[in-house]
Structure 1
Amino acid sequence: MADQAMGLRERKKLQTARRIWETAVELFLERGFDAVSVQEIAEAAEVSKMTVFNYFGSKEDLVFLPMEEHFGDAARAVRERRTGESAVAAVRRQFVEMTEARDPAVGLHPEPLSRQLRQLVLETPALMERAILSAQKGTRDLAALLAEETGDAMLATVAAAMLSAARNALIEEHHARIAAGESADQVAADAAERARQAFGLVEKGLSGYAVKA
């Protein structure tokens, strides 16, 4: 009985968090992030302002908390890679798997919500700053992991920056193509090949790239 009760409580908590988040996102997209107060979100979600902060530590968390884990995707891919698999191969494999799954974190979900949230972030300085800081932390975490394995912090920093840049460039291309009118399925059709090209450039260490004639 205790386990069942705990399960019910946890489900109710998840439902409450989901309702608060959906309410906040709807208001943000309708009126803009800065024009909506936490009190307004609480009233619309039929909870107290304190409840909102119990689930989401800040107003920015109402946008980022569900997606923030994805800033650590590259580090997670390296940490969990297979025996004999290089760091670049692991990040490439994870990225391709995410494109095949149409993961919103790589800009390929067919529903527009993830792209609407991305646009909200781009248009809101406070959210943009949070995104930049979170992305930088993801790259630092990847560099720290590689440095721990290899013993060379400088080269680990270079490698982490290149891997992060490749992922970001691919995601930006996905968003740009969809914004230009392609469907998520059309973009996904050659996403694996584009990932192979991007990470291939990293894998070669830019050798022979952009040699001036």
Structure 2
Amino acid sequence: MTDEQGLRERKKQRTRQALSDTAIELFLRRGFEKVSVADVAAAVEVSKPTLFRYFPAKEDLALHRIADHQGEAARVVSDRVPGQAPLAALRAHFHARLDAHDPITGLNDDARVRAFNDMLYTTPSLLARLVRYSDRDEELLAGALVEAGDGDGLTARLAAAQIVTVHRRLAEENWRKLAEGRAIGDALVEAHADADRAYDLLGAGLGAEYDR
């Protein structure tokens, strides 16, 4: 890549980040439904066609933060230590993310993260768009499971669908606990127990291929 190409790419990344950051600020301040794409474009001083080159839909402006985690489960499987089962690697990773209060787990009580999660889990169009992101995660995870040599393509796709759905539901359950006023310390203990129960269920159903 030439210096000029690198400069153009950095400029694109800055514009994409500015659009997403500005959109989220407006969404949280005024409400997702009350902010238009035109409002976001005007605030960043770009045209609507320019905005749509970076984000195909209004919902993508809000979900850009989540997109940073795209393919994370697949990477965990691909990078697991030799001899470690895929489910064991994914379980350990999820527990580690809980302890880190990673926003992707829903277990984070920072005011801005809480506000973002409140918006996400109470806005139907955002939840619907989130499913599309999950579809891509399932595809990537299935590929990693196939490369790991565990099961055929269909089995890997079915396993990936269950794993990604479990992660999404656990995150929503963690958000719900905090939204109901639970202290994060108490919620963390329950979140770990919930994760273990979920992975025990996954292991019971998928163990022959993925929990050895």
Normalised by the length of structure 2, the TM-score is 0.78
Q: Call closer, same or farther: CA 1:192–1:12 in 2, change over 3 Å.
A: same
Q: Partner of 2:32: helix, strand, or coil?
A: coil
Deviation at 1:165, TM superposition (A): 3.5
Residues 74-118 of structure 1 deviation map (CA, whole Å, 9 limit, x = unaligned): 222112111111111011111011111110000122213334333
The amino acid across from 1:203 in the alignment is G
Equivalent residue of 1:41, what SS?
Answer: helix
The 3 A distance-change label for structure 1 pair 101 and 11 is farther
TM-superposed deviation, 1:7: 8.8
**Higher relative contact order, chain-length normalized (CA < 8 Å, sep 6+):** 2
8 Å CA contact 2:159–2:206 kept in 1: the answer is: no
Instruction: Tell me the SS of whatever aligns to 2:185.
Output: helix
- Pairs within 5 Å for 1:1-213: 16-49=15-48, 51-148=50-147, 149-205=149-205
The farther-off stretch of 187-196 and 101-110 is: 187-196
Deviation at 1:131, TM superposition (A): 0.9
Tell me by how many angstroms 1:21 deviates: 2.3
Using the alignment, how far apart are the partners of 1:12 and 1:137 within structure 2?
A: 26
Cα distance 1:7–1:158, how it changes in 2: closer, same or farther (>3 A)? closer
What is the aligned-residue identity percentage? Answer: 38
Q: Distance in 1 between matches of 2:175 and 2:169?
A: 10
Moved more, 94-103 or 108-117: 108-117
The structure richer in helix per residue is 2
Deviation of 1:182 (Å): 1.3
Cα distance in 2 between the residues matched to 1:94 and 1:25: 28
Counterpart CA distance in 2 for 1:16 and 1:145 is 32
* Comparing 58-67 and 108-117, the one that deviates more: 108-117
Per-residue CA distance 1:7-31 (angstroms, 9 max, x = gap): 9987776555444323211222333
Whether contact under 8 Å (2:121, 2:172) holds in the other structure is no
Across the aligned residues of Structure 1 and Structure 2, the Cα RMSD in angstroms comes to 3.1
Residues 24-77 of structure 1: per-residue CA shift (max 9 Å, x gap): 112223333343222221222344445534544442221112212324322221
Aligned to 1:211: none
